[in-house]
Chains A and B, each alone.
Chain A
Amino acid sequence: MNFSFSDDQVLLRNSVRAALDEQCKPAHVRAMMEDSRGYGEALWGEMAKLGWLGLPFAEEYGGAGLGLVELCLVQEELGRAAYPGPFFASVVLGGLALMLGGSAAQKEKWLPAVAAGSARLSAALVEESLDWDPNATEATATRRGDGWALTGVKRFVPWAHVSDAVLVPARGPEGLSLFLVAPSVPGVSLRPMVGIDLANRWSEMRLEGATVNADAVIGRPGAAGPVLEALLRRAAVAASAEMLGAARRCLDMAVEYAKIREQFGQPIGSFQAIRHRCAEMLVSAENAHAAVYYAAWALNAGAEDAAMAASVCKSYVSEAARQVCGDAIQVHGGIGFTWEYDLHLYFKRAKALEPLFGDAEYHRELIARHVVA
């Protein structure tokens, strides 16, 4: 039993933090908010060079062969920096989906390219209804020649506009299936969905009889359910790690500000109203840390309670991160509400991730199915 990070894990976290402190300052985040593609190629290349983009892939596919705990360490740092770019979409959603369900040929084709940063992936996991249950998928797949024609509308597809291929669940004659679709093929159109977190990009992805080859199917036709469930759990935990990072940054900023901001002739942090709020924020952050890394470990180790741990994690951290980031604005007062001050970058990142891969209520219902029946 050991719930602390290994020396290697600490080293990884420190090196990720150092690189992002240097290359992903708030000024960079703000610049990318205005950028048409939304992320910087230089930093992307650096992330590839440092091995982050292949971190969870097997070494035979150009990866580092590390696990979900390490992936969450990186995600936490990305949240702490409000990193703008397709890391989560490409490595977590696309990469892990291929790791979980892809054929050897598909992995060989895509994973080394994702790891090298030369290809980007994403996944289209939700439709109009916002139901994260894969069984709610309404998009359809029909046979066309040797391949398939896909029809449906996907929403909130992260970084689709810069993706080479997007994983698309659709219902075919064999049941729920997963396809790899290039947004550039005829019959696919993207429309930007601009949220409050401008450093994060979503698209609506419309498929109107878009044709893909037979080898675009991930796994067997009709067998996508378990792959999607496994992917959603990992995505929920990785998103929680990013929310945790955003919350940590907000807590740090609130505490620093409470030490220097004076009102009534003393630092506001000396008032219990502020100090107690900061203490509550720390408790939430520490609990969120425990929830994230327990779940990451459990999923990675295939522990009996892994699915439960993922739902505990997402339901707890979704609300804890929103609360901590919001409390940080409250501690700051007026300046925390200005565009110029950086706090809103992290506040919005946590908010953007909160409803994805199942919100707190979605996961509480999953928990209730286990423990209440």
Chain B
Amino acid sequence: MDLNYTPEDIAFRKQVRAWLEQNLPREPIATLAQRRTWHRKLYEAGYLGMGWPKEYGGGGARPMEQAIVADEMARTNAPAPTNGLGLGIVGPTIVVHGSEAQKRRYLRKILTAEELWCQLYSEPNAGSDLASLKTSAVDQGDHFVVNGQKIWTSGGAIADWGLLLARTDPKVPKHKGITCFLMNMRQPGVDVRPLKQITGSSEFCEVFMTNARVEKSDQIGKLGEGWAIAQTTLGYERGGRSLARVTTYAAQYGCLANAARRLKRHGRPLSDDPIVRQKLGRIWADLEVERYSALRVLTHLERGEHPGAGGSVTKLSYSEFEKRFMELAEEILGPYGQLTEGAPPEYQLQIDTAVGERGTWAYAYLWSRAGTIYAGSSEIQKNVIGERILGLPKETRADRAGATR
């Protein structure tokens, strides 16, 4: 056990920090074209797709180096690259499960943001029970025809391609009849509509597919293997960003502590109120525990161990923490915390949001409700932990045996 960074890692961090100081955009990013330019710059510096194989345009870097880049970007509040799902989910899925031809065709263009990607998993009636999805892909000899509806597709409005889960065999038990495809979003049979969330913004879309076409060459893995593939890729992205996430929390915490020193109750600064101090002390302790846990996750990744079901422990812990943190922020900030406009600088959150916009406390508070729902709700994570880590018996479920229809 040695929690010091190696001299190589320290040197690498310095190098990344210097690069960011030189290259960070001077003006806030306003358009997709600007974000693509920034993305390209990051890629050319070697900071995207760092862990992907070199022959497909990746960097072959260690998990620690990836974590350091993400962490330094969080520290400097750097804008995110575009194509987050391409980088986080689709690319790694193609690296692990794709054919040689698919790797050559798609990976580099994900890295260069020439092609933007989305993920077509959830459906209106297949949320936590994702395996009950109904979107169908029917074999037409030389291609598949896709019909159905997807929801919670992040980045759907700008995506050129989508990673699709569709049912190819309705006669077998539901987990066995799903296949994974790469689908062109730029075709007449695909209709994308923005979905307005409680934030008022639309990071997500609904996608309607009416006789959409998927080429045979764009099937990932074998027929009926889609569920297994989705299981392995859901948690890909979690480890590498674990440290950066905590760094962002710490920056937000700094803003909150500053506000607590200015705000008053009964004539005294909130930061002198023992109850507020207790609450702030507790959240800082929780935040530090998340940081220590991130270092543990990184240790596993460095040793080449996939976190597996352990990823559920991490995700459950940080997403629930984020809710507690934002609830405390709102409590301390009072109505300032709800402002979407007109907040004085002292009560603003000078941190980028998940989608790279200048964030407000109000947005961060609302967004914290999403973390315990997306990518497997807290309840699903607890099922995974219970069954796969603790070995508790599965529920008696009515849907395991029969065909889907």
Contacts and interface: CB of A to CB of B under 8 A. Distances in A.
A364 B390 contact: no
B289 A312 contact: yes
A291 interface: yes
Interface stretch (B200-208, B357-365, B376-384): B376-384
A368 B278 contact: yes
A279 B377 CA distance: 14
Contact of B392 (A278, A311, A372): A278
Nearest to B390: A255
A363 B281 CA distance: 8
Interface core residue of A267, A279, A366 (most chain B CB under 10 Å)? A279
Contact of B382 (A271, A280, A290, A297): A280
A315 interface: yes
A291 B9 CA distance: 23
Interface residues of B, number: 51
Contacts of B298: 1, 3
A361 B385 CA distance: 30
A294 interface: yes
Majority DSSP secondary structure for residues of B touching A: helix
B281 A373 contact: no
Contacts of A271: 395
B292 A294 contact: yes
Contacts of B295: 1, 3, 290, 294
Given A2-B1, A5-B1, A372-B260, A367 B281 contact: yes
Contacts, number: 164
Nearest to B5: A1
A270 B392 contact: yes
Nearest to B2: A2
Interface in A5-56: 5-6, 9
Nearest to B257: A372
B355 interface: no
Contacts of A245: none
Interface residues of A, number: 52
A283 B278 contact: no
Contacts of A297: 1-3
A208 to B, nearest CB: 37
A4 B280 contact: no
A331 B194 CA distance: 45
Nearest to A69: B1
A278 B390 contact: yes
A259 B383 CA distance: 15
Given A276-B386, A297-B3, A312-B285, A1 B257 contact: no
B31 interface: no
B277 A275 contact: no
Contact of A293 (B1, B288, B395): B1
Interface in A329-359: none
B394 A372 contact: no
Interface string A264-283: 00110111101110111011
Nearest to A308: B288
B389 interface: yes
Given A6-B1, A309-B288, A312-B289, A279 B257 contact: no
B316 A365 contact: no
A51 B298 CA distance: 33
A178 interface: no
A279 B393 contact: no
B292 A291 contact: yes
B264 interface: no
Nearest to A360: B282
Interface core residue of B4, B282, B317 (most chain A CB under 10 Å)? B282
B183 to A, nearest CB: 35
Contacts of B392: 255, 258-259, 267, 269-270, 274-275, 278
Given A269-B386, A278-B386, A9 B1 contact: yes
Nearest to B386: A275
A104 interface: no
B296 interface: yes
Interface core residue of B295, B317, B392, B394 (most chain A CB under 10 Å)? B392
Contacts of A316: 285-286, 289
Given A276-B379, A373-B271, A298 B3 contact: yes
B102 interface: no
Contacts of A272: 379, 382-383, 395
A198 B381 CA distance: 38
B402 to A, nearest CB: 20
Contact of B277 (A276, A286, A368): A368
B6 interface: yes
Contact of B285 (A293, A311, A372): A311
B261 interface: yes
A290 B260 contact: no
A262 to B, nearest CB: 10
B1 A291 contact: no
Contact of B280 (A279, A294, A372): A372
Contacts of A286: 293, 313, 317
Contacts of B257: 371-373
A323 interface: no
A246 to B, nearest CB: 18
Given A1-B6, A3-B299, A6-B1, A279 B278 contact: no
Contact of A361 (B6, B278, B382): B278
A270 B393 contact: yes
B114 interface: no
19 contacts: A1-B302, A2-B2, A4-B299, A4-B300, A259-B392, A259-B393, A267-B392, A269-B393, A272-B382, A275-B383, A286-B293, A297-B1, A297-B3, A364-B282, A364-B285, A365-B274, A371-B280, A372-B257, A372-B260
Given A1-B3, A269-B392, 6 more contacts: A3-B1, A9-B1, A255-B390, A269-B393, A371-B257, A372-B271
Name the 10 nearest CB pairs between A and B, nearest first: A364-B281, A275-B386, A269-B392, A279-B382, A279-B385, A290-B292, A368-B277, A294-B292, A367-B281, A3-B299
